[in-house]
Amino acid sequence: MTDDLAVLRELGKKVLWLASWTIHNANHLRENGDGLKVGGHQASSASLATIMTALYLDVLRPQDRVAVKPHASPIFHAIQYLLGKQKREKLETFRGYKGAQSYPSRTKDADDVDFSTGSVGLGVAQTLFSSLAQDYVRAHGWGLDRPEGRMVALVGDAELDEGNIFEALLEGWKQGLRNCWWVIDYNRQSLDAVVREGLWERYEQLFKNFGWDVVIVKYGSLQQAAFKEPGGDKLKAWIDNCPNQLYSALVFAGGAAWRKRLTDEIGDQGNVSKLIEKRSDSELAALMNNLGGHDLPSVLDAFHNAHPEKPTCFICYTVKGFGLPMAGHKDNHAGLMTPAQMEVFRQTMAVREGHEWDKFEGLGLPAEKLQSFLDRVPFTQGPARRLSAPMIDVPDSLPVTLQPTMATQTGFGALLNEIGRGDSDFARRIVTTSPDVTVSTNLGPWVNRRGLFAREKMADIFKSEHIPSTFNWEFSPKGQHIELGIAEMNLFILLSALGLSHSINGERLLPIGTLYDPFIARGLDALNYACYQDARFILVATPSGITLAGEGGAHQSIAEPLIGMAQDGLASFEPAYVDELAAILRWAFSYIQQSGDGETSERNWLRDETGGSVYLRLSTRPIEQIGRKMTPDLTQQVIDGAYWLREPGPNCQIVVAYTGAVAPEAIAAVGLMAEDRRDVGLLAVTSADRLNAGWTAAQRARERGLVHARSHIERLLADVPPHCAIVSVIDGYPATLAWLGAVGGHRTRALGVEHFGQTGSLAELYQHYGIDANAIVAAAQAIAPGRPIRHLKALP
């Protein structure tokens, strides 16, 4: 062990050197004003160098998964480089084009990042939900031949200001969290400032309240030894009482400053004077800087003695910028070492010029010894850590009984209820979750069939007491619905964890999350985060829009269709009819499992083989269903994003393009206009997102010389005469469909909702916001002047 400790110490030094050199190199990006951001890594990385060395080179096992604090990415990449899993070129181009990413990225980095980080707080919660996902998988009897992993987050102390962490903590407690470590880099500094005094005590209480073990790693082994010397208790008391700001300032100022301060404040108290005096300035600085988080023996001891299963929070005292000239300075977040400082550092590290990337340059132990240690590091033993899982067969179609009048939300409930009857692997792999809106998003029947998930069985007391209820809420390890408290951030991060199960647990899940459409915004950054990590799930957002009439502006969504279009990694749909929904949902189950890197299809110019997540914007408005057969061609068009509900003729003057629940208004308007305008067309847009993406891709293809590239919407509009105008309508922000006019150069008037809604009946609100049949006809009349549309006056 002593031998190993010596090796680890040397490698720890190298990790700090390599990370610092990587950042120094990235300075070339300062030309674009990036210096401040490059600097963000320097001090922040140094803070975690020891802890990460201990973890990766000793403590972690291959099955463990880590979310690394965003700014510690150079340390992560340096460690992977030492382990032979990161290329020098990637480090040389850190933050550059195709170089190692500024913040660890599981999709863009090539060195085995488990969880992306960047937006602080999200990676932390991801580890918690990944533990729950692992428990879920194993409770269902899957992946039991693999060892159980521990999910570890390396957390900045200021990161703990993010509320989503506490939402996650509460949920973790409810769900009986296990196998999760949060290692807090308690450097008492954020980006701008030094944090408030005594925060660690709040954290300690807080974590304990949620059932966590709390391990405080405060004093390093030098300090612990010094405390045992005569007068050591005085020194300890002084350290404990020293304000954060002052401690940081003295760390920055160095040995002489420590001596002056300590001598002034406690130097005349007998034995402690000797303790101070017998140390040189540099020894005194080493002692005072020897906080637990920079002391390998203390850190290793804390990790190795942790409870095997209980969630554990390690509060590790550190100094931001430890080992570098800016250590402890309150302005050091963006601190970059000057070339002169770097030169001094190079000499201290005994690294010869031109040998900066040599793995063992300047270390005090033979290269073979260091290499043989690295070869034995537990973390890298065994097969590849990134797993995969076979695709789950999806049925050819999803049956649903259509009622004559039906809402898409009801249809969704009915579809899942049908799936829930079966006992196929497909049905078993579905996992649903919802932040306290399970019943109101129509998941109730599915949950009745499949049960709620909990590691321990819990009976539904209403049922056992024979009190009639529509819902059967029995919790068991076999349940397939994870009921969350009302926290949309948690919903998205749980979906992120469940949606990466194939890669983390080697077991595929088909996750579906439901919430009210407006509350997507509540968890938006977490949704973006889940997509950035390439997690795979189906999001069902319902109800939506002002169609939710009586609920008022606080519950009605406006911007979400644009979010659906703009969000990378998320294919968005807003079907009007339940047969469309059935086709889309079936497709979605397959799409979320794709991971090919195939070419774009020449049909729709979309890359469906690469897969992604899916967002379905649904509604509670019952609308009259169309009695029709879903032919393969119609199904395909629904999935590609649009089809003609009424094909325009050659003399067409008006096309109405609608999305979602306003279908009856569009149909009514077209009916009214048909008598005075010839060949009116009615375009059903099921996915503005996919239509638009295909159009953009086809244009790009043409610009690259593929002159025949045509997207789905271009083909649909190809025969619409140039003089024809388009009126688009959606219960959402009008710009969602406004671009349709640019496809073929047709004049366009986009109707939709621009301002906060209010309470009222559906008809009142549609009229007020101008998305009713009357408004469509009026818009058509104005944009395509011609014979007056007689029925306009007939409408209210």
Exposed, middle or buried by CB within 10 Å (0-12, 13-18, 19+), for 548? buried
Smallest distance, Mg ion to C-beta of residue 332, A: 10
Binding-site partner at residue 191 among ligand TPP, Mg ion, none, CB < 5 to 8 Å by type: ligand TPP
Q: Quick one: 29 or 155, whose CB is closer to Mg ion? A: 155
In the complex, the smallest distance separating the C-beta of residue 39 from ligand TPP, rounded to whole angstroms, is 11
In the bound complex, what is the minimum distance in angstroms from residue 350's beta carbon to Mg ion?
Answer: 30
Nearer residue to ligand TPP within complex by CB, 26 or 672: 26
The DSSP bridge pattern shows strands 623-624 and 405-406 to be antiparallel
Answer whether 510's CB lies under 8 Å from 535's CB.
no
**Which is nearer to ligand TPP, 189 or 687 (by Cβ)?**
189
In whole angstroms, how close is the CB of 720 to ligand TPP at the nearest point? 45
Q: Of Mg ion, ligand TPP, none, which one does residue 26 interact with (CB within 5 to 8 Å by kind)?
A: none
Burial 491-512 (b: 16+ CB within 10 A, else e): bbbbbbbbbbbbbbbbbbbbbb
Query: Please, what is the minimum distance in Å from the beta carbon of residue 118 to ligand TPP?
Result: 6
Task: Work out how close the CB of 783 gets to Mg ion at its nearest, in angstroms, rounded to a whole number.
Answer: 57
Amino acid (one-letter) located at 511: P
Tell me whether residue 71 or residue 677 sits nearer to ligand TPP (CB atom). 71
Calpha distance 215→212 (Å, rounded): 10
> Residue of minimal CB distance from ligand TPP?
156
Nearest CB to ligand TPP, comparing residues 44 and 131:
44
Distance CA 74, CA 42 (A): 8
| 340 φψ region: left (φ > 0), alpha (ψ -120 to 50), beta (else) | alpha
C-beta neighbour count of 452 within 10 angstroms: 20
Of the pair 22, 542, the CB lying nearest ligand TPP is at 22
Residue 71 or 236 having the CB closest to ligand TPP: 71
- Residue 607 CA to its chain's centroid (Å): 22
Residues 6 or more apart from 676 whose CB is under 8 A from it?
A: 786, 787, 788, 789, 790, 791
For residue 85, the minimal CB distance to ligand TPP (Å) is 24
Q: Using the 8-state DSSP alphabet, how is residue 84 labeled?
A: T
Please report how close the Cβ of residue 336 comes to Mg ion at its closest, in angstroms.
18
Q: HEC states along 375-386?
A: HCCHHHCCCCCC
Four-residue CA torsion sign, 369, 370, 375, 378: positive
Residue 640 touches which of Mg ion, ligand TPP, none (Cβ within 5-8 Å per kind): none
Q: Tell me the closest approach of the beta carbon of residue 316 to Mg ion, in angstroms.
A: 11
Distance, first Cα to last Cα, the chain = 86
Within 8 A by CB and 6+ apart from 486, the residues are 435, 436
C-alpha dist (Å) from residue 389 to 111, 492, 502, 511, 594: 20, 22, 5, 15, 11
Task: Enumerate binding residues for ligand TPP (CB under 6 A).
Answer: 44, 47, 70-71, 119-120, 156-159, 185, 187, 189-191, 320, 333
Tell me whether residue 72 or residue 616 sits nearer to ligand TPP (CB atom): 72
Q: Which is nearer to ligand TPP, 139 or 334 (CB)?
A: 334
> Cβ 568 to ligand TPP, closest distance in Å?
18
Q: Considering beta carbons, is residue 155 or 406 the nearer one to Mg ion? A: 155
Query: Between 118 and 770, whose beta carbon lies closer to ligand TPP?
Result: 118
Q: For the chain, give me the number of helices (H) and strands (E)?
A: 33, 20
> Which spans of this chain sit near Mg ion (rule: CB under 5 A)?
156-158, 187, 189
- Residues 36 and 487: their CA atoms lie apart, in Å, by 34
C-alpha Rg value of the chain to the nearest Å: 31
Give dist(CA 46, CA 12) in Å, integer: 10
DSSP H or E stretch at residue 185: strand 180-186
CB-wise, 68 or 300, nearer to ligand TPP? 68
* Least spacing, CB of residue 302 vs Mg ion, in Å: 19
Residue 71, contacted partner among ligand TPP, Mg ion, none, CB below 5-8 A by kind: ligand TPP
How many C-beta atoms lie closer than 10 Å to residue 133's C-beta? 27
E strand residue ranges, 626-690: 642-646, 654-659, 681-685
Give start and end residues of each alpha helix (H) in 211-254: 221-228, 232-241, 244-253
Separation CA 496–CA 126 (nearest Å): 7
Where on the phi/psi map is residue 569: left (φ > 0), alpha (ψ -120 to 50), or beta?
left
Contacts of 735 (CB under 8 A, 6+ apart): 562, 750, 752
Cis preceding linkage at 543, omega within 30: yes
By beta-carbon proximity to Mg ion, the closer residue of 187 and 547 is 187
Chain-centroid distance, C-alpha 102: 17
From Mg ion, ligand TPP, none, interface partner of 246 (C-beta below 5 to 8 A by class)? none
Pick between residue 122 and residue 452 the one whose CB is nearest to ligand TPP: 122
Residue showing tokens 């009586």: 550
CB of 195 to ligand TPP, least distance (A): 7
Contacted entry of ligand TPP, Mg ion, none for residue 44, CB cut-off 5 to 8 Å set by kind: ligand TPP
**Residue 333 contact among ligand TPP, Mg ion, none, beta carbon within 5 to 8 Å by kind:** ligand TPP
Residue 101 interacting entry, from ligand TPP, Mg ion, none, C-beta within 5 to 8 Å by type: none
Report the nearest approach of ligand TPP to the CB of residue 766 (Å). 38
Contact 115, 154 (CB under 8 A): no
Q: Which is nearer to Mg ion, 40 or 435 (CB)?
A: 40
Minimum distance of ligand TPP from residue 293's CB (angstroms): 11
Quick one: 319 or 750, whose CB is closer to ligand TPP? 319
Q: How far is CA 106 from CA 66, 88, 103, 406, 535, in A?
A: 11, 18, 10, 42, 10
φ and ψ at residue 667, rounded to 5 degrees? -65, -45
Among candidates 430, 525, 409, which has minimal Cα distance to 481? 430
Pairing of strands 642-646, 681-685: antiparallel
- How many Cβ atoms are within 10 Å of 274's Cβ, its own excluded? 12
- Distance in Å, CB of 252 to Mg ion, minimum: 15
Please report how close the Cβ of residue 157 comes to ligand TPP at its closest, in angstroms.
4
Q: Which is nearer to Mg ion, 321 or 575 (CB)?
A: 321
In whole angstroms, the minimum distance from the beta carbon of 488 to ligand TPP comes to: 16
